[in-house]
């Protein structure tokens, strides 16, 4: 159920730096990893398993050779090979798996699959991270739910009317049809609402950008899924009649909701969320205010998804029903299934969809 021959966000560089010389233990696509700073200062990741007695290497510390086990002091190199152990001959120990790592945009990205197929050219590119005209702030949630449920959630924003009624939700979302398009392996779901009142979150953003928060606006939501599980959502409001999404910068408040969804297990994932905005990029207080507001919004999603997952585990025989608004999630899952099929060996059993995926095949 995971695409493994690809790049996922494992953690932020800040998260790793906060641990000092202690490695970070993290499970990605059922692969337990110890992530640490290597001798050259670059981030490395190896299997979180000491070949001596099976202790987690993440309980140890970084050292001049790589990482030192916190149980008996065995030292592993960044390539997963045993390098040293006090008073012992250990050069013949079998290596543990080492994972390819890339540091980019303030994140640590890892390739959890076949290391012979690692391709740095497949790293996604997000120009706003390197553009000084944009500001970014975000956070991390550990969600006890299938990562595909988060994809479903983000590719259908109709739920905002109900789950986020006091922040970004409003009846016009429910009342306005959405359109879903497929562009190769990309899925786009979009909704445009004209001549409406901005909800509380966007009223705050309008005020921050010098706009009248009570003025009628044209609002847009453009959700873009790309494999393995990244979703970028163009969101914003513009003073009504000035072009909506294409309005001049001084007539709108525009942001990109950044969603990096990293599977942990079949029923849990790491959710790196954030918002990149192209107005008042130097205002740190505004960045913090938006981050706090967005964090509260996403905590509401997390609660819903975790309870949804619990219900699905309780009633595994039940198939979920589909509506037109689910098309974005349906098509995104189909892209994932195509990638999973490519990773299977010729003799592997055909991918078996879960009841929810089977139900969606008719959507």
pLDDT value, residue 119? 96
Tokens matching residue 297: 């919004």
Quick one: average pLDDT of 185-192?
Answer: 96
Angle (nearest 5°) at CA 278 between 273 and 279? 115
The residues of the chain that CATH labels 2.102.10.10 are 8-122
Q: pLDDT tens digit string along 353-362? A: 444 443 333 3
Q: pLDDT tens digit string along 230-288? A: 999 999 999 999 999 999 999 999 999 999 999 999 999 999 999 999 889 999 999 99
The residues of the chain that CATH labels 3.90.380.10 are 127-314
- Cα distances (angstroms) measured from residue 349 to each of 166, 171, 208, 338, 352: 47, 46, 55, 14, 8
Q: Which CATH number fits domain 127-314: 3.90.380.10, 3.40.50.720, 3.90.650.10, 3.30.360.10?
A: 3.90.380.10
- Residue of 148, 142, 154, 146 lying closest to 271 (CA atoms): 142
Contacts of 363 (CB under 8 A, 6+ apart): 322, 323, 326, 327, 330
Q: What is the CA radius of gyration of the chain?
A: 22
Q: Where are the alpha helices (DSSP H) in the chain?
A: 13-17, 147-154, 160-163, 171-175, 200-208, 284-314, 327-343, 355-360
| Number of helices followed by number of strands (H, E) in the chain | 8, 17
**214 CB burial (10 A radius; 0-12, 13-18, 19+):** exposed
The Cβ-side half-sphere exposure at 238, using a 13 Å CA radius, reads 21
In this structure, whether the domain defined by 8-122 belongs to CATH 2.102.10.10 is answered with yes
Q: pLDDT tens digit string along 40-87? A: 899 999 999 999 989 999 999 999 999 999 999 999 999 999 988 887
Tokens matching residue 314: 């309780």
Residue 26: pLDDT over 50: yes
Mean residue pLDDT across the chain: 91
Q: pLDDT tens digit string along 128-181? A: 999 999 999 999 999 999 999 999 999 988 888 778 878 888 888 888 889 999
DSSP 270-289: EEEEEEEESSSTT-HHHHHH
Which value, to the nearest 10 degrees, does the dihedral of the CA atoms of residues 262, 266, 268, 272 take?
10
pLDDT value, residue 359? 39
Angle (nearest 5°) at CA 23 between 26 and 48? 50
Lowest mean pLDDT among 112-116, 133-137, 277-281, 329-333: 277-281
Q: pLDDT tens digit string along 316-326? A: 999 888 888 88
Q: Where are the alpha helices (DSSP H) in 23-100?
A: none
Q: pLDDT tens digit string along 70-81? A: 999 999 999 999
pTM: 0.90
Residue 345 pLDDT grade (very low, low, confident, very high; cuts 50, 70, 90):
low
- Residue of 296, 301, 128, 158 lying closest to 221 (CA atoms): 158
3-state secondary structure of 39: coil
């Amino acid at each position: 159920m995971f695409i493994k021959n690809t790049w996922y966000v494992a953690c932020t560089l800040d998260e790793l730096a906060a641990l000092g010389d202690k490695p970070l233990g993290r499970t990605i696509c059922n692969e337990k990893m110890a992530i640490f700073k290597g001798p050259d200062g670059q981030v490395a990741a190896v299997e979180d398993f000491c070949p001596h007695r099976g202790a987690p290497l993440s309980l140890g510390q970084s050292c001049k050779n790589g990482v030192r086990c916190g149980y008996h002091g065995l030292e592993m190199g960044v390539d997963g090979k045993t390098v040293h152990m006090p008073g012992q001959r250990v050069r013949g120990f079998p290596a543990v798996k080492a994972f390819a790592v890339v540091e980019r945009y303030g994140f640590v990205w890892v390739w959890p699959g076949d290391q012979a197929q690692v391709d740095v050219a497949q790293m996604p590119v997000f120009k706003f991270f390197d553009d000084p005209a944009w500001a970014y702030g975000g956070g991390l949630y550990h969600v006890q739910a299938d990562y595909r449920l988060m994809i479903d959630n983000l590719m259908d924003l109709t739920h905002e009317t109900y789950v986020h009624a006091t922040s970004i939700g409003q009846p016009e979302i429910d009342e306005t049809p959405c359109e879903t398009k497929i562009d190769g392996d990309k899925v786009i779901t979009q909704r445009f609402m004209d001549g409406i009142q901005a909800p509380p979150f966007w009223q705050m953003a309008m005020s921050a950008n010098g706009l009248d928060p009570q003025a009628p606006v044209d609002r847009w939501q453009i959700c873009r899924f790309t494999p393995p599980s990244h979703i970028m959502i163009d969101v914003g409001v513009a003073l009504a009649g000035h072009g909506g999404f294409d309005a001049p910068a001084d007539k709108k408040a525009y942001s990109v909701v950044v969603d990096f969804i990293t599977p942990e297990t079949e029923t849990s994932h790491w959710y790196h969320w954030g918002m990149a905005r192209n107005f008042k990029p130097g205002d740190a207080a505004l960045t913090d205010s938006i981050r706090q507001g967005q964090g509260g919004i996403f905590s509401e999603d997390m609660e819903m998804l975790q309870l949804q997952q619990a219900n699905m585990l309780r009633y595994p025989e039940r198939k979920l029903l589909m509506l037109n608004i689910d098309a974005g999630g349906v098509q995104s899952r189909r892209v994932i299934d195509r990638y999973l099929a490519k990773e299977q060996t010729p003799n592997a059993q055909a991918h078996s969809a879960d009841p929810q995926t089977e139900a969606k095949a008719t959507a």
